[in-house]
């Protein structure tokens, strides 16, 4: 029996306001379901949703419609040329997504074959944290298939690669890596943060799971943190369970921003990749530069492989927007180079509208000691540029002035 509204006290009336309208027309923008909890019509419905017996939402740590909208959007882009879209899960950060994947499929005694040039946070997770729980990792040159094959063991559960290695820009042969992994019953997990789905879609090349730090190109504006994993629904369901239990869930507000970023992803990445190609080719000719790592350069060891793997448009093949410049002079020269830049911002992250720069060994890969840096092919003076949307002439001029200040080798 309904209680007449006039019989309720003012506090009750304030708390129990009329629900918002449910529009018959579809909103053009993505609605933000900024709520921790969802109400049910009965105790039985509540129990059925919590136990995954019927679809629905109960609590935003578990699932949220806005987060699901973002994850499904990424799945649609990653599965563009597949017979059916993969499943996906959103996370609070790229590292939360990586942790969720590794925790879902690794147990004590498990073994991982991982790129030696992997992102420092991933390296630390495997080398420092998961090793405490009996997980062993072999760090190898992931572009060297013989080195990968030699590292495989009966206990290998995951082969972990990056589509474009951070920061060496090495590009592995994903199809052959997938064959190596699957022949021993392992999963191929690919971090494709540096090659979003408008550059490469690893699932098309045999990868089982694809991870993105959505903070980077997907968000695209350096104002939101998030991660996402796509892959076969059977695998994603296991990852979802880990996410729910560990609590690394994406917030609805961040999911809204990340989904919005997807709408301009092709436009931004095309421009950034084109600018990076010009920037890399020009800086490679400067006498103060020891080397430039960029897959778009003809001198890059995996240049032809990258041409086959990566998407092309009217502007040519998109080789990404990460350019690693190593000046002569080692660590001191690398840090001095960074300090002399005026247009590029010294900052964490990548993939945004502004060009960001970092001295690799002291920042993104600070977890690696000198031996690990050498094994990864990272020079003590390496400087990573994440090219933004500025004019290429301005970025090149800024870098040239900074390099000239270092003097000649």
pLDDT in tens, 114-148: 999 899 899 999 999 999 999 999 999 999 999 99
43, pLDDT greater than 90: yes
Closest CA to 406 of 289, 323, 325: 289
Question: What local confidence, expressed as pLDDT, does residue 178 receive?
Answer: 98
Q: What is the pTM of this model?
A: 0.93
Question: What local confidence, expressed as pLDDT, does residue 6 receive?
Answer: 63
For residue 90, list its beta bridge partners.
228
Residue that wins the pLDDT comparison between 87 and 409:
87
| Cβ contact 254:367 at 8 Å | no
Select which of 46, 57, 59, 61 is catalytic.
Answer: 61
DSSP 102: H
- 62 burial (CB, 10 Å; 0-12 / 13-18 / 19+) is middle
CA 297 to chain centre: 23
Q: How far apart are the first and last CA of the chain?
A: 87
Percentage, residues of the chain above pLDDT 70: 98
Length of the chain: 409
Q: Any catalytic annotation for residue 119?
A: yes
Instruction: List the 356-359 sheet strands across, edge first.
Output: 289-293, 322-327, 383-386, 356-359, 345-346
Select which of 191, 208, 254, 398 is catalytic.
Answer: 191
Q: How confident is the model at residue 7 (pLDDT cuts 50, 70, 90)?
A: confident
Ordered by start, the domain boundaries in the chain are 64-263, 265-404
**386-406 pLDDT, tens digit each:** 999 999 999 999 999 999 998
* Fold assignment, 64-263: 3.40.640
Select which of 157, 201, 216, 271 is catalytic.
Answer: 216
Select which of 63, 68, 119, 384 is catalytic.
Answer: 119
**166-220 pLDDT, tens digit each:** 889 999 999 999 999 999 999 999 999 999 999 999 999 999 999 999 999 999 9
Nearest-angstrom CA–CA distance, 195 and 202? 9
Question: What local confidence, expressed as pLDDT, does residue 1 receive?
Answer: 41
Peptide bond into 200 cis (omega under 30): no
- Other Cβ atoms less than 10 A from the Cβ of 152: the count is 18
Give the CATH number of domain 265-404. 3.90.1150.10
Q: Any catalytic annotation for residue 216?
A: yes
Per DSSP bridges, beta strands 356-359 and 383-386 are: antiparallel
365, pLDDT greater than 80: no
- 371 burial (CB, 10 Å; 0-12 / 13-18 / 19+) is exposed
Q: Any catalytic annotation for residue 61?
A: yes
Per DSSP bridges, beta strands 156-162 and 187-191 are: parallel
């Amino acid at each position: 029996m309904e209680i007449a509204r006039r019989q309720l006290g003012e506090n009750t009336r304030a708390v129990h306001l009329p629900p918002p309208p449910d529009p018959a027309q579809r909103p053009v923008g993505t609605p933000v379901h900024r709520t921790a909890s969802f109400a049910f019509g009965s105790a039985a419905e509540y129990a059925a949703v919590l136990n995954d017996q019927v679809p629905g939402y109960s609590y935003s740590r578990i699932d949220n419609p806005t987060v699901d909208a973002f994850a499904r959007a990424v799945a649609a882009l990653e599965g563009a040329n597949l017979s059916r879209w993969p499943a996906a899960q959103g996370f609070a950060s790229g590292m939360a997504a990586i942790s969720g994947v590794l925790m879902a499929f690794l147990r004590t005694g498990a073994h991982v074959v991982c790129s030696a040039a992997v992102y420092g946070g991933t390296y630390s997770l495997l080398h420092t944290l998961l090793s405490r729980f009996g997980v062993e990792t072999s760090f190898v040159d992931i572009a060297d298939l013989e080195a990968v094959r030699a590292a495989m063991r009966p206990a290998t559960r995951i082969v972990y690669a990056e589509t474009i290695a951070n920061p060496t820009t090495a590009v592995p042969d994903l199809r052959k890596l997938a064959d190596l992994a699957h022949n021993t019953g392992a999963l191929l997990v690919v971090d494709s943060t540096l090659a979003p789905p408008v550059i490469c879609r690893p699932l098309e090349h045999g990868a089982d799971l694809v991870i993105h730090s959505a903070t980077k190109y997907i968000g695209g504006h350096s104002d939101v943190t998030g991660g996402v994993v796509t892959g076969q629904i059977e695998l994603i369901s296991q990852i979802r369970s880990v996410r729910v239990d560990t609590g690394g869930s994406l917030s609805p507000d961040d999911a809204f921003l990340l989904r919005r970023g997807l709408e301009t992803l092709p436009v931004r990445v095309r421009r950034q990749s084109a600018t990076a190609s010009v920037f890399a080719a020009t800086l490679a000719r400067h006498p103060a530069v020891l080397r430039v790592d960029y897959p778009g350069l003809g001198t890059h060891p995996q240049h032809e492989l990258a041409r086959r793997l990566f998407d092309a448009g009217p502007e040519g093949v998109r080789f990404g927007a990460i350019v690693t410049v190593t000046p002569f002079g080692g660590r001191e020269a690398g840090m001095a180079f960074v300090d002399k830049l005026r247009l590029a911002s010294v900052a964490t992250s990548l993939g945004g509208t502004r060009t960001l720069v970092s001295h690799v060994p002291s920042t993104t890969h600070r977890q690696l000691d000198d031996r690990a840096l050498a094994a990864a092919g990272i020079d003590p003076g390496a400087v990573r540029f994440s090219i933004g949307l500025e004019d290429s002439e301005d970025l090149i001029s800024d870098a040239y002035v900074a390099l000239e200040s270092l003097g000649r080798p």
